[in-house]
Amino acid sequence: MQRHITDHSTTNNESSRLRAYWQAEREAQLHPVYRQMHRQARPGDPSQKMARYLRIERGDVA
């Protein structure tokens, strides 16, 4: 009895090529942690310092 056309015990070359392509695409992109770090304001950002200063001047406390 022969195997059915969809019965494959091993992966074919096309799927390994596709897997390698997706891995290269993932590695080429920026890691999500770095994206999050870039979105956050820097601690010494002058605009943040000014906002804190103005909040204190108005009398707002944390």
Q: What 3-state DSSP class applies to 29?
A: coil
9 versus 4: which is more confidently predicted? 4
**pTM of the entire predicted model:** 0.37
* Tens-place pLDDT, residues 13-23: 678 889 999 99
With a pLDDT cut of 70, the percent of the chain lying above it is 81
Residue with tokens 């891995």: 23
Angle, CA of 52, 58 and 60, to the nearest 5°: 70
For the stretch 23-57, what's the b/e string if a residue is b when 16 or more beta carbons lie within 10 angstroms of its beta carbon? eeeeeeeeeeeeeeeeeeeeeeeeeeeeeeeeeee
Contact assessment for residue 48 and residue 41, using Cβ atoms and an 8 Å cutoff: yes
